[in-house]
């Protein structure tokens, strides 16, 4: 039998050692992650796992040479490993010493990296705008919605998709829907005259239109493979006790959804902000894109 290509939709295997051994051994550190209500756990292609805290990866879990292997970014763990190699981006976690204090330390470090609020003054349009971290909001949405079964879905093997990455995957009433998350202040929601190399090019539509078209093409070209992949993912989640929302996949939505979070906190918006929201809606209403503008709940 030919081994599936790494990174392909066929590479996920419910019988992979990591999933089998986690279920069989149920290590203390694994229970700690699963029982923390602020932590969400997602299954990945190529049979590894990421556990997240509000957008930041606490740990990447694999099973190698007969043992569990966990890694995290050096910024989250180097204080607990003083003799670590300063040139390494990711450090191996000592799972035998991974306890509540270790978890809280990593979570605290992540909260600094993906803080709830960040001040940005990138251009005049956003000047003095208090900006939420998209990663933070993504984490809030996942924690509050058990039907979100995956995040940061990535696929790099489709030449048309060109390193595709989709923020959220939701399974509701048997239908799986890819969901792209954007903040209302995101420049890709509006038409800009500036290109990446600072030469002026007149655009006819915002970048988000092309991005959503790319996602829809990917779904069309890989509809059955996506369905099979997520059926396997659900099987793994259920075997590990992670599946607490909808568990029956009947159909894959042919259109990806765009969720725009309105992060403006003022009770009375300026004319410029009102105009921005209006312009975004006018653009999106002219194209076949399913979208929602959702007010941020503070």
* Helix/strand/coil percentages in the chain, nearest 5: 35, 30, 35
Given a cut of 60, whether residue 125 has pLDDT beyond it is no
Confidence of residue 204 (pLDDT cuts 50, 70, 90): confident
Give the helix/strand (H/E) hosting 250: none
Residues 47-84 pLDDT 10s: 999 999 998 999 999 999 999 999 999 999 999 988 87
* pLDDT (tens digit per residue) in 27-53: 999 999 999 999 999 999 999 999 999
- Percent of the chain with pLDDT strictly greater than 90: 72
Q: How far apart are CA 148 and CA 170, in angstroms?
A: 4
Decide which of 253 and 127 is more confident: 253
pLDDT classification of 121: cutoffs 50, 70, 90: very low
Q: CA 196 from chain center: how many Å?
A: 24
> What per-residue confidence (pLDDT) applies to 246?
80
What's the whole-number mean pLDDT along residues 246-272? 91
Q: Is the CB of residue 277 less than 8 Å from the CB of residue 262?
A: yes
Interatomic CA distance for residues 77 and 72, integer angstroms? 7
The 10 Å Cβ neighbour count of residue 63 is 18
* This prediction's pTM: 0.88
Q: What is the pLDDT of residues 265-291, one digit of tens each?
A: 887 889 999 999 999 999 999 999 999
Strand, helix or coil for residue 33 = helix
Rounded to the nearest integer, the mean pLDDT of the chain is: 88
């Amino acid at each position: 039998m030919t081994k599936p290509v790494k990174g392909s939709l066929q590479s996920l295997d419910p019988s992979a050692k990591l999933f089998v051994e986690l279920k069989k051994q149920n290590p203390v550190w694994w229970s700690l992650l699963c029982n923390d209500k602020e932590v969400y756990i997602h299954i990945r292609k190529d049979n590894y796992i990421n556990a997240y805290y509000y957008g930041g990866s606490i740990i990447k879990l694999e099973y190698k040479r007969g043992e569990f292997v966990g890694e995290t970014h050096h910024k989250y763990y180097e204080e607990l490993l003083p003799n670590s190699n300063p040139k390494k981006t990711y450090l191996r976690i000592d799972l035998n010493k991974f306890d509540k204090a270790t978890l809280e330390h990593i979570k605290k470090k992540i909260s600094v990296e993906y803080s709830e609020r960040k001040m940005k003054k990138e251009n005049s349009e956003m000047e003095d705008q208090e900006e939420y971290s998209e990663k933070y909001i993504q984490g809030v949405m996942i924690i509050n919605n058990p039907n979100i079964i995956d995040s940061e879905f990535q696929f790099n093997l489709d030449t048309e998709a060109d390193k595709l990455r989709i923020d959220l995957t939701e399974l509701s009433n048997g239908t799986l829907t890819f969901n792209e998350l954007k903040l209302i202040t995101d420049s890709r929601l509006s038409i800009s005259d500036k290109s990446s190399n600072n030469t002026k090019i007149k655009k006819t539509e915002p970048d988000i239109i092309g991005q959503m078209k790319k996602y829809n093409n990917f779904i069309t070209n890989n509809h059955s493979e996506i369905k099979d992949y997520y059926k396997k993912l659900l099987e793994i989640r259920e075997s590990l006790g992670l599946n607490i929302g909808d568990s029956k996949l009947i159909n894959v939505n042919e259109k990806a959804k765009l969720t725009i979070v309105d992060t403006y906190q003022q009770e009375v918006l300026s004319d410029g902000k009102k105009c921005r929201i209006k312009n975004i809606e006018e653009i999106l209403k002219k194209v076949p894109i399913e979208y929602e503008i959702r007010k941020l709940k503070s």
